[in-house]
């Protein structure tokens, strides 16, 4: 961990504050900084202080570019501390939200003034903890938090300029705090007001010591490490080999649309989410969305349609339309839509005229089409959106798959992992009796061979391993409950016309 950036950021904040009442000169000075586009964040001759910090703290900025910007800032603003080269624990803004607020005209001028006021008040209170400074902070924080578009980003800005006093409450930090310090969960369900935020910062500074964290920069770093997700974590959690993972990743990045198919309990949804996390590099559920198709699911649910309200009907955007919008507005990051039970929906009805647009060579604005309900707008699927469908191969109620679906997706089999070394290792790590582990592997391997060789069933009906995963412990009684209440009903359904066969297989599983 290296937090050398903290001194530079605090000193730069001090220098910016000198221009609070001379923002035109500040803009002229910022125009001299290399590798930034100041026009992205200015409003005429006005500019907000946190917007300046956002210019070198956005998602996806190259490391060398950030260093060059800070070197240029050091020279122009005569900052005495060394330019940092490590940026551990620094939260980053969405590149499309660098202005820090969403208002225009006269309201924007008021909002910029309020952002300068909280900028000044937060520095004063952090450096000189008096009642007067505290009250000023609370007053201007409350005004700033209500600015359209600011929301949780306000706490990120405060952390940038005084990282040892103010906690960053972006989504990554909130999730980490909820997990490690659940007694604070209630305090961060919504953006706190000024008084609540100060109290939260003070209390967290004490409580994080109980989890061996000394300050907020370290908390922010640990939160990022906690949410960070890569190939190694995937292989620890999903029963796949290194080679299988590489193949799966390459297929979705190339084709953009895949379907994970397999019987119930093989971990399709579990693997799909973690595949997405591993590609985007973190557990970010704003960029990984899961929905479920069913027989009543429609174009209106998925793309767009009219919905009743108190005045009649209004045009509402569907989940896919909105997710595509999110991806288009964040083109530097990948987005994953996971569709559970994809074969249960009427695909032609759900996608409508847009089905062609999900093809990997039909992405982008070049192939945009008019929408049924919005002929004045053209819609396209962005390059950075990937679709993972999930399909239960043991569902007898389904007809043959639509050929159009098969042509646009790559199908990948997910099979039971009873014979995978990772499965045994996972059970052993939970101190489950080794004899029981051996019996589970032996009996379900044998059962699945029987199912595969049955002409009325086949490998699509095998029993998955997930019945025995995600359990803190597993006793003989637990095992019997799993067989009697979860697996036996499935086997009776499989051999509904051969009761003796079903009971024989159930009895064999219980014979441990």
- 238 and 222 within one domain: no
Question: Looking at residue 296, what is its pLDDT?
Answer: 92
pLDDT in tens, 402-448: 677 788 899 999 999 999 999 999 999 888 899 999 999 999 999 99
Residues 6+ apart with CB under 8 A from 428: 434, 437
Helix, strand or coil, per DSSP, at residue 58: strand
- 247 and 187 within one domain: no
Q: Could you tell me the two tokens for 261? A: 């198919």
Q: Could you tell me the two tokens for 305? A: 């349609």
E runs forming strands in 381-475? 385-392, 410-413
Alpha-helical segments (H) within 101-170: 105-127, 131-145, 153-161
Integer Cα distance of 66 and 85 in angstroms: 9
Q: Which domain holds residue 444?
A: 421-510
Question: Looking at residue 120, what is its pLDDT?
Answer: 98
Within a 13 Å sphere around the CA of 306, how many CA atoms are in the beta-carbon half? 9
Indicate the number of domains in the chain: 3
- 254 and 213 within one domain: no
- 291 and 430 within one domain: no
CA–centroid distance for 443 within its chain: 38
Helix-helix angle 153-161:105-127, to 10 degrees: 40
pLDDT in tens, 326-369: 999 888 789 999 999 998 888 888 988 888 899 999 999 999 99
- 272 and 247 within one domain: yes
Cβ count near 170 (within 10 Å):
18
- 168 and 294 within one domain: no
Among 379, 413, 447, the domain boundary falls at 413
Question: Looking at residue 398, what is its pLDDT?
Answer: 54
Question: Looking at residue 501, what is its pLDDT?
Answer: 94
Question: Looking at residue 29, what is its pLDDT?
Answer: 93
Question: Looking at residue 203, what is its pLDDT?
Answer: 95
Q: Which residue has the tokens 């970010």?
A: 284
CB 122 within 8 A of CB 66: no
- Which residues in the chain land under pLDDT 50? 399
Question: Looking at residue 435, what is its pLDDT?
Answer: 94
Question: Looking at residue 116, what is its pLDDT?
Answer: 97
Q: Which residue has the tokens 């202080």?
A: 49
Question: Looking at residue 78, what is its pLDDT?
Answer: 94
CB 463 within 8 A of CB 448: yes
Question: The domain that contains 325 carries what CATH number?
Answer: 3.40.50.300
Question: Looking at residue 94, what is its pLDDT?
Answer: 82
DSSP-derived pairing of the beta strands 335-340 and 385-392: parallel
- 428 and 346 within one domain: no
Residue 58, φ and ψ in degrees, nearest 5: -115, 160
- 242 and 211 within one domain: no
Integer Cα distance of 285 and 267 in angstroms: 19
Among 227, 249, 268, the domain boundary falls at 227
Q: Could you tell me the two tokens for 333? A: 């990051």
Question: Looking at residue 97, what is its pLDDT?
Answer: 81
Residues 6+ apart with CB under 8 A from 169: 152, 155, 156, 188, 191
* pTM to 2 decimal places: 0.71
- 55 and 182 within one domain: yes
């Amino acid at each position: 961990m290296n937090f050398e950036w903290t001194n530079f950021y605090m000193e730069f904040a001090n220098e910016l504050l000198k221009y609070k009442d001379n923002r035109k000169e500040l803009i002229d000075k910022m125009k001299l900084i290399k590798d930034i586009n100041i026009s992205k964040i200015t409003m005429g001759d006005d500019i907000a202080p946190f917007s300046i910090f956002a210019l070198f703290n956005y998602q996806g900025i190259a490391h060398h570019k950030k260093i060059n910007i800070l070197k240029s800032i050091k020279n122009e603003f005569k900052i005495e501390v060394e330019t940092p080269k490590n940026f551990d624990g620094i939260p980053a803004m969405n590149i499309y939200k660098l202005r820090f607020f969403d208002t225009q005209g006269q309201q924007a001028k008021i909002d910029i003034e309020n952002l300068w006021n909280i900028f000044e008040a937060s520095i004063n209170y952090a450096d000189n903890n008096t009642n007067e400074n505290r009250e000023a902070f609370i007053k201007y924080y409350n005004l700033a938090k209500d600015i359209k578009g600011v929301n949780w980003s306000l706490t990120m800005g405060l952390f940038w300029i005084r990282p040892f006093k103010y906690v960053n409450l972006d989504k990554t930090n909130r999730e980490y705090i909820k997990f490690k310090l659940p007694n604070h969960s209630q305090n961060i369900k919504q953006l706190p007001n000024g008084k609540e935020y100060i109290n939260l910062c003070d209390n967290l500074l004490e409580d994080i010591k109980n989890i061996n964290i000394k300050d907020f920069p370290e908390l922010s770093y640990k939160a990022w490490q906690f949410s960070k997700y890569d190939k190694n974590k995937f292989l620890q959690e999903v029963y796949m080999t290194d080679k299988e993972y590489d193949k799966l990743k390459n297929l979705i990045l190339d084709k953009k649309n895949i379907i994970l198919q397999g019987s119930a309990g093989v971990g399709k949804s579990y693997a799909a989410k973690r595949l997405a996390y591993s590609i985007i590099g973190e557990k970010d559920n704003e960029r990984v969305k899961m929905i479920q198709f069913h027989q009543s699911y429609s174009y209106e649910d998925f793309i767009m349609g009219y919905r009743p309200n108190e005045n009649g009907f209004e045009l509402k955007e569907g989940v896919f339309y909105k997710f595509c919008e999110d991806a288009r507005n964040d083109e530097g990051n990948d987005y994953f839509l996971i569709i559970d039970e994809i074969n249960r929906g009427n695909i032609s009805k759900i996608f409508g005229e847009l089905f062609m647009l999900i093809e990997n060579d039909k992405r982008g604005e070049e192939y945009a089409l008019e929408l049924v309900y919005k002929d004045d707008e053209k819609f396209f699927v962005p390059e950075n959106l990937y679709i993972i469908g999930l399909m239960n191969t043991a569902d007898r109620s389904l007809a043959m798959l639509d050929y159009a679906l098969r042509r646009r997706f790559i199908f990948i089999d997910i099979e039971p992992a009873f014979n995978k070394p990772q499965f045994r290792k996972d059970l052993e790590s939970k101190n489950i009796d080794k004899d029981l582990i051996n019996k589970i592997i032996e009996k379900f391997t044998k059962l699945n061979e029987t199912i595969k060789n049955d002409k009325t069933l086949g490998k699509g009906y095998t029993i998955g391993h997930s019945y025995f995963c995600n359990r803190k412990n597993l006793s003989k009684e637990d095992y019997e409950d799993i067989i009697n209440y979860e697996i036996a009903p499935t086997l009776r359904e499989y051999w509904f016309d051969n009761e003796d066969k079903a009971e024989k297989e159930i009895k064999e599983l219980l014979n441990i």
